[in-house]
């Protein structure tokens, strides 16, 4: 998987289908040589480096190969000869900021080490995984930078991260990207990213790269609904099934930047990492800093193949714990059913229906603690609201358990309401900048998780609540962006560390709580999908995809989300109509067809459903139980994009390849349409597939090449789920 050629001094990293090559070049500069489809190791790659370019750029004395400004660099710094955007930058004690990193040594070993304090992908016994650690040194300042590469051979993935050890005088890191790759011929590529806002997260955005720097980022303290920490460069004509795609995703839940800088030679410097904006980290002598991990995926079979690589890796080697490999709970959540206006009786009336239709779990959402009738108080006061729940959480849990349902609970541990006993006792526990009045968002402040006392408080009350009743699921919410970010306990110099220290603090809490309660299923949430990232998925295997539960909107949101996240990670519920976010009325069936491939549930007052709706709901739960494993462990193929057409489709192929499920959606009515055929993907051409609803027999080749007709009336909000069994 990883070799080092002593003569050429090239590192060759290979997965099943890809190669990644870089080398030690003149004066020990680390240069990037190749990333793409697999090539043999013996090939000479220096022809990739053009030394012919005429430029204004400087060069080191003794460097005969042009300038590093014109070469493809592996982990660039700024201030010497490469004047493009750096992957690493820092200010030294003397005020200078010209880090010069040169190759010093390397190690290659089997397996993959843990990242201290950070979420990351991992390997298990028997996995073909190797790690390369390259040590770069700034010998003048005695600063050591370790580039880590782990190769997941069978998964076709390379991960990267960076660790810094300061053995010299104090310095301040201002940029430390997790990955930077210089790609030739960037004029051939489009820039793909996922953007949105609350209730319309992760829309697929695609534009040709232009000369200059283009990037997406978050400065909101969390990954955010606005941009996701994912970026891809694809050939202009690449689509779901063909073309080259280079992509990066960051295993991190805080401020990030991801993008590409295209220079005058059409070299694209693709990068991802912690957002350098508002970031600074002081390293005293002997201290270290660890960057988050970037996951790099290359595909020459289009975006679909890229996504399936991410899906499998995240399902199997990012998510952890008991719930990783088993089918999870079909649930009812009371949020859109009651909001905060509930009592035990009302909840139990919904629960009875939930049991009746076959659900597993009842989730009590916001409003169960303090004096929480509206969202302007009580966060931080995690004591049961006795007027609503006179028998407490354990009383409610017992009644639910007696009905045959498990009990789940909503919490928002990172927040404090100014109107709370906690804030009155500890105003210093909120994030704040000295001399500035902190702004509220949803009338709440953010707790300063960089503080040990705040983390201890959080771990303690969570442990107490989770031990106080038979709680088997937690929805972990986070409902505002961070502002006036600062910590009263940190020195002035270290205020630029608060965003990252917050995330490290959050990860410490999550690690402690999720390992202390391994039998609880955790779902993360941030005003819907505001923190849908691989970092959170490491602790919690599913995320509430969006607060927008409208079936039509969800077709888009889930499609975009699937670019790099599996359906097994997407919380998806059937909600009431007219829909609470967009007022649209869609058929109950369509709501089910949209929610079924995700982690399925209901978000409505089941006691208000008609008999006919109850029967459909029962059928949906039955289908979820039967097909959940196909959606969650099978391969997903996006067939027609809702961003390109008012009809869209996807199919799933089960892990054992025996079951195929086709989902089709129509969002808009159109009269007199052309014939439309849906061509499936991922089948065996010579196998026979029998359609369950009418017994029709098709060869795989027929379904993939001729396809089956759209089959529906031209009215809006149509959907269908069609199951095929391989003979």
Comparison of 479 and 651: residue with beta carbon closer to ligand DGJ: 479
Q: Do the strands 331-333 and 203-208 form a parallel or antiparallel pair, or are they unpaired?
A: unpaired
State the minimum distance, in angstroms, from the CB of residue 578 to ligand DGJ. Answer: 18
State the minimum distance, in angstroms, from the CB of residue 63 to ligand DGJ. Answer: 54
Residue found by looking up tokens 């289009």 in the block: 302
From candidates 159, 247, 267, 479, binder to ligand DGJ by CB under 6 A: 479
From candidates 89, 182, 293, 366, binder to ligand DGJ by CB under 6 A: 366
State the minimum distance, in angstroms, from the CB of residue 717 to ligand DGJ. Answer: 23
State the minimum distance, in angstroms, from the CB of residue 197 to ligand DGJ. Answer: 14
User: How many of the chain's residues bind ligand DGJ (CB under 6 A)?
Assistant: 11
Strand partners, 252: none
CA–CA distance, 158 with 273 (Å, rounded to integer): 15
**Element at 131 (helix H, strand E):** strand 129-138
Where helices occur in 239-342 by DSSP H, the ranges are: 302-317, 335-338
- Is 477 near ligand DGJ (CB under 6 A)? yes
Residue 278's nearest CA partner among 175, 178, 164 is: 175
- Is 528 near ligand DGJ (CB under 6 A)? yes
Q: Which two tokens stand for residue 593?
A: 């067809």
**Element at 4 (helix H, strand E):** strand 2-5
CA–CA distance, 200 with 193 (Å, rounded to integer): 14
Comparison of 244 and 548: residue with beta carbon closer to ligand DGJ: 548
Active site residues: 477, 547
From candidates 240, 497, 547, 550, binder to ligand DGJ by CB under 6 A: 547
CA–CA distance, 723 with 661 (Å, rounded to integer): 5
Provide the terminal-to-terminal Cα distance of the chain, rounded to the nearest Å.
38
Comparison of 23 and 528: residue with beta carbon closer to ligand DGJ: 528
From candidates 13, 177, 377, 525, binder to ligand DGJ by CB under 6 A: 525
- Is 365 near ligand DGJ (CB under 6 A)? yes
Comparison of 157 and 359: residue with beta carbon closer to ligand DGJ: 359
The interface mask with ligand DGJ, positions 41-80, x = CB under 6 A, is ----------------------------------------
CA–CA distance, 442 with 445 (Å, rounded to integer): 9
- Is 601 near ligand DGJ (CB under 6 A)? no
State the minimum distance, in angstroms, from the CB of residue 339 to ligand DGJ. Answer: 8
Query: 315-344: which residues touch ligand DGJ (CB under 6 A)?
Result: 335
Q: Which residue has the CB atom at the shortest distance from ligand DGJ?
A: 366
State the minimum distance, in angstroms, from the CB of residue 365 to ligand DGJ. Answer: 5
237-245, 521-529, 535-543, 709-717 -> range binding ligand DGJ (CB under 6 A): 521-529
CA–CA distance, 537 with 598 (Å, rounded to integer): 15
- Is 263 near ligand DGJ (CB under 6 A)? no
Rounded alpha-carbon distances, angstroms, from residue 108 to 11, 12, 13, 146, 158: 10, 11, 11, 13, 14
Rounded alpha-carbon distances, angstroms, from residue 699 to 124, 454, 688: 38, 61, 4
The interface mask with ligand DGJ, positions 687-716, x = CB under 6 A, is ------------------------------
Residue 543's nearest CA partner among 562, 554, 555, 529 is: 529
Please say whether the beta carbons of 35 and 268 come within 8 A.
no
114-122, 294-302, 390-398, 523-531 -> range binding ligand DGJ (CB under 6 A): 523-531
CA–CA distance, 466 with 468 (Å, rounded to integer): 6
Please say whether the beta carbons of 309 and 155 come within 8 A.
yes
- Is 382 near ligand DGJ (CB under 6 A)? no
Residue 268's nearest CA partner among 227, 194, 209 is: 209
Residue found by looking up tokens 């982990």 in the block: 75
- Is 370 near ligand DGJ (CB under 6 A)? no
State the minimum distance, in angstroms, from the CB of residue 70 to ligand DGJ. Answer: 49
State the minimum distance, in angstroms, from the CB of residue 586 to ligand DGJ. Answer: 19
How many residues are there in the chain?
Answer: 727
Query: 401-430: which residues touch ligand DGJ (CB under 6 A)?
Result: 410
Chain residues binding ligand DGJ by CB under 6 A are 335, 365-366, 410, 477, 479, 525, 527-528, 544, 547
């Amino acid at each position: 998987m990883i070799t080092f050629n002593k003569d050429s001094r090239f590192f060759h990293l290979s997965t099943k289908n890809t190669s990644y090559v870089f080398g030690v070049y003149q004066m020990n500069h680390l240069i990037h040589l190749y990333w793409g489809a697999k090539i043999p190791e013996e090939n000479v790659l220096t022809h990739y480096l053009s030394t012919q370019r005429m430029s204004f750029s400087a060069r080191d004395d003794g460097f005969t190969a042009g300038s590093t400004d014109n070469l493809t660099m592996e982990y660039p710094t700024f201030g010497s000869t490469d004047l493009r955007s750096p992957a690493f930058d820092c200010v030294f004690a003397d005020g200078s900021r010209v880090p010069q990193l040169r190759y010093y040594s390397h190690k290659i070993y089997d397996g993959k080490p843990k990242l201290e304090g950070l979420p990351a992908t991992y390997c298990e016994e028997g996995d073909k995984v190797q790690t390369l650690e390259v040590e770069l040194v700034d010998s003048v300042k005695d600063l050591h930078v370790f580039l880590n590469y782990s190769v997941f051979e069978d998964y076709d993935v390379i991960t990267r991260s960076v660790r810094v050890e300061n053995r010299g005088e104090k310095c301040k890191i201002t940029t430390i990207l997790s990955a930077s790759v210089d790609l030739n011929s960037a004029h051939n590529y489009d820039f793909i990213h996922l953007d949105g806002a609350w209730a319309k997260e992760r829309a697929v955005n695609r534009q040709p790269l232009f000369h200059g720097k283009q990037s997406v980022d978050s400065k909101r303290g969390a990954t955010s609904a606005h941009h996701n920490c994912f970026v891809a460069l694809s050939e202009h004509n690449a689509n779901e099934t063909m073309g080259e795609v280079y992509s990066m995703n960051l295993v991190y839940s805080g401020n990030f930047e991801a993008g590409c800088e295209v220079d005058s030679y059409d070299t694209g410097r693709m990068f991802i990492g912690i957002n350098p904006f508002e970031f600074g980290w002081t390293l005293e002598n002997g201290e270290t800093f660890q960057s988050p991990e970037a996951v790099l995926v290359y595909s020459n079979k289009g975006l679909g193949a890229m996504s399936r690589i991410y899906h499998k890796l995240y399902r199997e080697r990012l998510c952890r714990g008991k719930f990783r490999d088993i089918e999870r709970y079909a649930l009812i959540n009371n949020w859109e059913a009651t909001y905060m206006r509930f009592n035990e009786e009302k909840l139990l009336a919904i629960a009875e229906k939930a049991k009746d239709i076959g659900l597993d779990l009842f989730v009590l959402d916001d409003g169960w603690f303090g004096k929480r009738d509206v969202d302007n108080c009580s966060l931080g006061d995690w004591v049961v609201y006795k007027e609503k729940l006179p028998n407490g959480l354990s009383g409610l849990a017992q009644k639910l358990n007696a009905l045959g349902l498990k009990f789940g609970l909503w919490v928002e541990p990172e927040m404090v309401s100014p109107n709370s006993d906690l804030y009155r006792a500890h105003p210093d526990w909120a994030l704040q900048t000295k001399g500035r009045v902190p702004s509220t968002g949803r009338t709440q402040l953010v707790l300063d998780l960089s503080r040990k006392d705040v983390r201890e408080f959080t771990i303690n009350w969570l442990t107490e609540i989770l031990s106080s009743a038979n709680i088997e699921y937690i929805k972990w919410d986070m409902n505002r962006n961070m502002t006036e970010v600062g910590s009263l306990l940190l020195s002035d110099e270290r205020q630029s560390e608060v965003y990252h220290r917050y995330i490290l603090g959050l990860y410490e809490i999550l690690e402690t709580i999720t390992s202390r309660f391994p039998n609880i299923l955790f779902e993360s949430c941030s005003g819907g999908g505001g923190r849908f990232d691989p970092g959170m998925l490491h602790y919690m295997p599913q995320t509430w995809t969006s607060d927008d539960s409208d079936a039509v909107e969800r077709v888009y949101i889930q499609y975009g989300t699937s670019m790099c996240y599996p359906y097994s990670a997407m919380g998806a519920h059937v909600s009431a109509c007219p829909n609470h976010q967009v007022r649209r009325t869609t058929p109950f069936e369509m709501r089910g067809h949209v929610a079924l491939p995700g982690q399925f549930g209901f978000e409505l007052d089941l006691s208000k459903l008609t008999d006919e709706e109850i029967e459909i709901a029962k059928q949906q739960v039955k289908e979820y139980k039967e097909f959940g494993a196909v959606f969650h462990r099978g391969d997903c193929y996006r067939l027609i994009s809702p961003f390109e057409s008012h009809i869209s489709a996807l199919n799933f192929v089960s892990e054992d390849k025996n079951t195929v499920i086709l989902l089709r959606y129509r969002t808009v009515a159109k009269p007199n349409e052309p014939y439309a055929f849906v061509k499936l993907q991922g089948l065996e051409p010579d196998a026979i597939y029998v359609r369950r609803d009418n017994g029709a027999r098709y060869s795989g080749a027929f379904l993939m090449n001729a396809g089956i007709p759209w089959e529906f009336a031209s009215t809006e909000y149509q959907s269908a789920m069609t199951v095929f069994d391989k003979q």
